[in-house]
Chain A
Amino acid sequence: MPSIEVNDLWVRYGDRDAVRGVTLAVEPGQILCVLGRNGAGKTSTIEAIEGYRKFAKGTVRVLGLDPARQHREVVKKIGVMLQVGGIYPRMNPRQALELYAGFYDDPVPVDDLIKLAELGSAQKTPYRFLSGGEKQRPALALALIGRPSVLFLDEPTAGVDAAGKQQIRTAVADMARSGVAVLLTTHELNEAERLADSIAVIDEGRIIAEGTPAELRERFGKQTVLFRTAAPIDVASFSQRLGLRVTELGENSYRLGEEAPANVVGTITALLAEQGVDLIEMNAGRGSLEDVFLEITNGEA
């Protein structure tokens, strides 16, 4: 049985449909990443699944329970990290964790979470004085305190520095390995690529693409070639000789702008040799998840 099962979910604000017929499922131990532009419907979807937001139509089950009607049972088994805030501004992380520990029958010891979220030096700093990135750490620790079977993380690494992002990703991956189902939203496409078992791209309230990162790249990613030379090339004549549009990306860096044929690597090498220009590096392959995302949404994450 999936830990999260959503069928034809519709969320309406006034006469505007923010979520339009979303269907998804997350198995135990799976990380599903919901990608989408601002206002695409990610947070409304996640809040409806948590049982926090009323929805107009559809069915939602979390661990087989209806989060709207069986809210009191569901909240004992889920961990939630909001996009921003959620902690008393005058409380420090330790106090917040001690408070939340009182809500659950078998909470994770506060000291363990302080260690896991690396809150050592910030544990007694009032939440309002923590930096944007630091605020994500106690928020993640609070999401884990009730030993959840399902985790909802709304942009968990927003504003966090590189090391912090890695710690959060490691913690999330560890939770999934222990059997926790994770539903997370993010703007960080490389985060989705690294963490997610499965990705759902949402746009204007609808899921417009879904699959594993590899499947999405295979389905939507175009073959691209990037290369860097020791000296500049004549882009116009190079394009003409290749029969493909070459775009200059920066100093001596170039990209083929269209679907490149399989033998193009050899042709580029030969042309450069002919012009007496040394090749420094060349990468050929399917576009990144970012390219895929831009391709299917015509926007930015």
Chain B
Amino acid sequence: MAAHPYQAQAKAEIRLSMTQYESLLVTFGIPLLFLVAFSLIKVLPLPHGVLKPVAFLVPGTIALAVMATGMVSLGIATGVERSYGVLKRLGTTPLSRGALLGAKITSIAVIELVQVALLALVGLALGWKPSGNPLQFVGAIILSSAAFAGIGLILAGRLKSEAVIGAANGLFLVLLVLGGMIFPVSSLPGPVADVARLLPAYASAHILFVSSTGGAGSVAGSWIVLLVWAIAAPLLATRLFRFE
């Protein structure tokens, strides 16, 4: 029987992710709750020219879900694996680092696919009518995944597992507020909004919104910001990550 370390690890990663109920609350529960609640209860401001909250909330909650999966779920899980010596032990098996990384990427991709499908279906049920550039939409999700996974792995690779949980959840809340995912960044005070536009959360939500509505306005700045985060965060994670 030939060994398939990557396949075995990918299956385990997916199963662990899908059965971690605290994590599912953040990766599925909160985005779905925000989408449904704020689409039906119109209490939050909308970007100029947007009439239906769902048009803003579907791309926003998809960005939120991607952030939750890469930064919070992957970050916390990897931090726990590091502190329990799991990564160290795996390093003495035929599972290569590349295969381990590949398995984690596969797991994230599978979860994000389910997240996007679920949020899009719920959005359609709530009256979402996407019209835009699907390629840009997918491209933004891929870059966002790299950026948030990089941030999650920086936290996981340097902090103790308890600290990773606190830091990832804290950062999640900060980026949720500053990211223009649930309400537009233009609602924030001027200098805060300027800083928010340099964050991957805003760049991700902005591109997803424009590419799903065919809306006007340049997203070039957001592409640059997202691209920089998508390259810098994983690179930094590679340099900073400690296996024990």
List B contacts of A115 (CB < 8 A).
Answer: none
- B91 at the binding interface (Cβ < 8 Å): yes
List B contacts of A101 (CB < 8 A).
Answer: 8
Chain B interface residue count, Cβ-Cβ cutoff 8 angstroms: 26
List B contacts of A99 (CB < 8 A).
Answer: 8-9, 12
Task: Tell me the bound Cα distance from A87 to B96 in angstroms.
Answer: 17
- A129 at the binding interface (Cβ < 8 Å): no
Q: A72-B96, A100-B93, A102-B7 are in contact. Are A87 and B84 (CB under 8 A)?
A: yes
Partner of A82 from B1, B4, B11, B85 at Cβ < 8 Å: B85
Task: Tell me the bound Cα distance from A89 to B221 in angstroms.
Answer: 43
List A contacts of B96 (CB < 8 A).
Answer: 72
Task: Tell me the bound Cα distance from A120 to B5 in angstroms.
Answer: 26
B96 → chain A, closest Cβ, in Å?
Answer: 7
- A57 at the binding interface (Cβ < 8 Å): no
Contact present for B89 and A85 (CB under 8 Å): yes
Contact present for A103 and B19 (CB under 8 Å): no
Partner of B88 from A86, A91, A102 at Cβ < 8 Å: A86
Task: Tell me the bound Cα distance from A76 to B12 in angstroms.
Answer: 20
Partner of B94 from A52, A88, A104, A152 at Cβ < 8 Å: A104
Contact present for A85 and B9 (CB under 8 Å): no
Contact present for A85 and B85 (CB under 8 Å): yes
Contact present for A82 and B20 (CB under 8 Å): no
Contact present for B81 and A88 (CB under 8 Å): yes
Task: Tell me the bound Cα distance from A78 to B12 in angstroms.
Answer: 22
Closest residue of chain A to B5 (Cβ to Cβ) is: A103
- A241 at the binding interface (Cβ < 8 Å): no
Contact present for B93 and A52 (CB under 8 Å): no
Chain A interface residue count, Cβ-Cβ cutoff 8 angstroms: 30
Contact present for B8 and A82 (CB under 8 Å): no
Contact present for A86 and B8 (CB under 8 Å): no
- B113 at the binding interface (Cβ < 8 Å): no
Partner of B1 from A72, A90, A105 at Cβ < 8 Å: A105
Contact present for B19 and A90 (CB under 8 Å): yes
Contact present for B86 and A52 (CB under 8 Å): no
- A75 at the binding interface (Cβ < 8 Å): yes
Closest residue of chain B to A85 (Cβ to Cβ) is: B85
Task: Tell me the bound Cα distance from A86 to B95 in angstroms.
Answer: 14
Task: Tell me the bound Cα distance from A52 to B91 in angstroms.
Answer: 7
Partner of A103 from B20, B80, B86, B93 at Cβ < 8 Å: B93
Partner of A102 from B8, B16, B89 at Cβ < 8 Å: B8
Task: Tell me the bound Cα distance from A148 to B134 in angstroms.
Answer: 51
Q: A72-B94, A90-B19, A90-B20 are in contact. Are A106 and B85 (CB under 8 A)?
A: no
**Subset of 23 A-B contacts with CB under 8 Å:** A52-B91, A72-B96, A75-B92, A76-B94, A78-B92, A82-B85, A84-B85, A86-B86, A87-B86, A88-B16, A89-B80, A95-B12, A99-B8, A101-B8, A102-B3, A102-B8, A103-B3, A104-B3, A105-B1, A105-B2, A106-B1, A142-B89, A146-B93
Q: Give residues in A with beta carbon < 8 Å to B.
A: 50-52, 72, 75-76, 78, 80, 82, 84-91, 95, 99-107, 142, 146, 152
Q: Give residues in B with beta carbon < 8 Å to A.
A: 1-5, 7-9, 11-12, 16, 19-20, 80-81, 84-86, 88-89, 91-96
Rank and list the top 9 A-B pairs by shortest CB-CB distance, nearest first. Answer: A102-B8, A86-B89, A85-B85, A80-B92, A85-B84, A86-B85, A103-B5, A99-B12, A103-B93
